[in-house]
A = this chain, B = another copy of it.
Amino acid sequence: MKMLINSPQTVVADALRGLAAAHPELDVDVERGVVVRRDAREGGRVGLVSGGGSGHEPLHAGFVGYGMLSAACAGEVFTSPVPDQMMRAASAVHAGQGVLFVVKNYTGDVLNFQMAAELAEEDGVRVEQVLVNDDVAVTDSLYTAGRRGTGATLFVEKIAGAAAEEGAPLEQVAAIARRVNEFSRSFGVALSACSTPAKGGPTFDLPDGEMELGVGIHGEPGRERRAMMPAREIAEVAVGAVLEDLGEVPPADGPVLALVNGMGATPLLELYGFHAEVVRLLEARGVPLARALVGNYVTSLDMAGCSVTLCRADEEMLRLWDAPVQTAALRWGR
């Protein structure tokens, strides 16, 4: 597998050097893998810290900035960052109002963020955590006990980030972050495997003419492997799975916020076509679409495919979604 890299050992550090060069508004510790918004401590706001294995860019470092994350920790590819990174991030952004950790539900991330939270508390930093576990495809998986955290991470980081930017106290920022997660569901589909630099080739085997329904963002197995289908039928499976599970969240006719997310190698031309199918299905089921975002946001290196995330958004969530944001990968309203 050909990659645009120097070596598998330097791929994360190289990317962080590039991020630093392209975004002077970010304070990038290349060696330690910590990306901090330069003005994180101004204004005495709650700090919002996330992170995870690399390979899902722009998640998380691309979401550091005004109205979203205060800092992000970058682990090696598909590998959790370590507690030392999270502690450094927490102390770099702490302005006396406490820190919220946004943690995707993978065993390594959960353990490491937990340890960092305990250590930070010992240092006098109040820490709350929100666990993102929105993927309805499977419970328990290769890296996870329980549901995996995927596309809803973007919703949690955007909406909780807007609340923190407004000056909401820690309990309130944590509460809305948890509510966004509880109100969100995702389902992913892979048309190809992804290749990690360390392995130098595909991490799993997906034969010609087949796709993986319910795939995880590291290529973990989903619900089933099936022969390729047209986009409209794939959308039916994905939206159907999400809406079925979202049925638990009232009101059934409430508006949703939608993310049609590319896994990395699927052209934007195809993602927009897929979005049209998602919209058609929501209309057919009488689900109002309040806002939509289409693009590559929570990726899996060079995997082809997409995921759909729906969040049953109340007025407060929509107001915070619309609030200004200025990061490397998400910008509007300012």
Q: Chain A residues in contact with chain B, CB under 8 A?
A: 2-7, 10-12, 14-19, 21-22, 54-55, 57-58, 62, 77, 191-192, 208-209, 211, 228, 230-232, 234, 260, 264-277, 279, 289, 292-294, 296, 299, 301-302, 304-306, 326, 331-334
Beta-carbon nearest neighbor of A332 in chain B: B331
Beta-carbon nearest neighbor of A264 in chain B: B267
CB atoms of B18 and A272 under 8 A apart:
yes
CB atoms of B279 and A18 under 8 A apart:
yes
Question: Which B residues are CB-close (under 8 A) to A208?
Answer: 2
A324 to chain B, nearest CB (A): 10
CB atoms of A18 and B294 under 8 A apart:
yes
A263 to chain B, nearest CB (A): 10
CB atoms of B2 and A57 under 8 A apart:
no
CB atoms of B267 and A2 under 8 A apart:
no
CB atoms of A3 and B191 under 8 A apart:
yes
Beta-carbon nearest neighbor of A266 in chain B: B4
CB atoms of A21 and B275 under 8 A apart:
yes
Q: A12-B269, A267-B301, A332-B331 are in contact. Are A274 and B2 (CB under 8 A)?
A: no
CB atoms of B269 and A191 under 8 A apart:
no
CB atoms of B304 and A2 under 8 A apart:
yes
CB atoms of A270 and B232 under 8 A apart:
no
Q: Which 9 A-B pairs have the closest CB atoms?
A: A18-B272, A14-B273, A18-B275, A18-B276, A17-B276, A265-B265, A57-B268, A15-B272, A4-B270
Given A7-B230, A11-B270, A18-B272, 8 more pairs with CB closer than 8 A: A14-B276, A15-B268, A17-B272, A21-B279, A22-B292, A55-B267, A55-B269, A77-B269
Cα distance, A296 to B4, chains bound together (Å): 14
A199 to chain B, nearest CB (A): 14
Question: Which B residues are CB-close (under 8 A) to A269?
Answer: 11-12, 15, 54-55, 57, 77, 301
Q: A3-B191, A4-B306, A231-B5 are in contact. Are A22 and B266 (CB under 8 A)?
A: no
CB atoms of B191 and A2 under 8 A apart:
yes
